[in-house]
Amino acid sequence: AQHVALQHRRPLVVVFCLVSDYPGANLRHYGFMLKGLQEVEGNLLRRKIPFVLLEGDPAATLPRYLEKMKAACLLTDFDPLHVKRAWQKRVAAAMDGFFYLVDGHNIVPCWLTSPKLEYAAYTLRPKIKKILPDFLTEFPSLKTHTVNGSPFAAPSPGWQEIGRRVADQSVLEVDWLLPGEKAAGKALTRFIGKKLPSYHEKRNDPNEDGQSDLSPYLHFGHIAPQRAALLASGAKAKSEAKEAFLEELVTRRELADNFCYYNTNYDCFAGFPAWAQKTLNDHRDDRREYLYSREMLEHGKTHDPLWNGAQLQMVKRGKMHGYMRMYWAKKILEWSPGPEEALATAIHLNDRYELDGRDPNGYAGIAWSIGGVHDRAWPERAVYGKIRYMSYNGCRRKFDVNRYSTRWTGH
């Protein structure tokens, strides 16, 4: 945006449109996001770039604002999910001037990586690898914006007041992970120095602190995946470790965006591949050994301490370990009356409690677990059909399940 503004010798304003009732979001998410935005405001002001917070439906407030400011051009960030795509479409239709959509959400722009819905990681990987070097480049630094001076001094938004207007205050903020660009940078540096060297060995053990914890920062744009990929690529660590991390951060993450961008049913049963829909339909009437209401699941009141531990880790910490997320979603399929209910419950709980929820990775991860997306058919069994199964005993062979469940359930 600054490059375009400087080319045309125009002032630059950064605008954020805030809706206080974004689907699935509550105080936990807003608190993290607003504190990050407050830091953005300070960083921009130091470079003489005003930051404006608009409140209300972006499709209505933003075109009005652009008209008032006589804006020549709007640049906004790509997002593959329904809500923001609908806003962007309405804004583009309602405004005069140029409208640019920039994919800063991915390293390689989603529509360039592939023009179609990809079948699995193995079909996307070679496509990304081919063009990644063209896009995995350093960022231009933000300059002090002095052309024509600032258009005005924007009054600072009343940050605390805004927090009080958040519609859903029912899930509390967490204090173990500080929000914002600075904290994200520290988390990345710590990860590269301390955890990356053993990432390939420890990331799948829920008792270890082996993951990067970057997902909330990536979700809210407090750090770019490109920044993390640049640092990890140049780090001093074994190639297995770096490759394992870049596989998740680049291939898997960009595969999730591909899924949501090209499959408008990314959050529905109809979005599952044909073989998965068939096998789940074939097993609709199978007897379920356990059936739990959404409320029992939400409170971690099942017969399975490992599952309850995972659920409570998510509720208390706002971030379930990555390995447990697969087990967690698959058991919801096993204990629900049907796949549609399982999918809706998993999305509801994930979006409500995970700090990184309401993200393409979440929809893709849940669709992988429950609907075979990006996976293949496995030996058939009750309820799951040919969807890959995960068991308590399988987990027990991999890690200390008692240690994990005791830590999060307290018994």
* Binding interface with ligand FAD (CB under 6 A): 203, 211-215, 218-219, 248-249, 252-253, 256, 322, 325-326, 329, 350, 354, 356-357, 359, 361-362, 365-366, 368-369
Using CA atoms, how far residue 218 sits from 101, 118, 142, 211, in Å, is: 18, 23, 20, 14
CB-nearer residue toward ligand FAD: 273 or 357: 357
Nearest to 75 by CA among 5, 124, 180, 137: 5
CB-nearer residue toward ligand FAD: 113 or 215: 215
Q: What is the DSSP letter of 251?
A: I
Say how far apart CA 164 and CA 35 lie, in whole Å: 13
Distance of closest approach, residue 212 Cβ to ligand FAD, in angstroms: 3
Using CA atoms, how far residue 227 sits from 191, 271, 315, 362, in Å, is: 13, 32, 29, 22
Distance of closest approach, residue 359 Cβ to ligand FAD, in angstroms: 4
CB-nearer residue toward ligand FAD: 185 or 322: 322
Distance of closest approach, residue 21 Cβ to ligand FAD, in angstroms: 20
Give the three-state DSSP class for 101: strand
Give the three-state DSSP class for 321: coil
Using CA atoms, how far residue 259 sits from 121, 270, 364, 374, in Å, is: 11, 13, 7, 9
CB-nearer residue toward ligand FAD: 28 or 145: 28
Q: Are 329 and 370 in contact (CB under 8 A)?
A: yes
Distance of closest approach, residue 244 Cβ to ligand FAD, in angstroms: 9
Distance of closest approach, residue 329 Cβ to ligand FAD, in angstroms: 4
Distance of closest approach, residue 8 Cβ to ligand FAD, in angstroms: 35
What residues contact residue 57 under an 8 Å CB cut-off, 6+ apart? 19, 87
Say how far apart CA 90 and CA 83 lie, in whole Å: 11
CB-nearer residue toward ligand FAD: 65 or 220: 220
Distance of closest approach, residue 166 Cβ to ligand FAD, in angstroms: 20
CB-nearer residue toward ligand FAD: 219 or 227: 219
CB-nearer residue toward ligand FAD: 35 or 252: 252
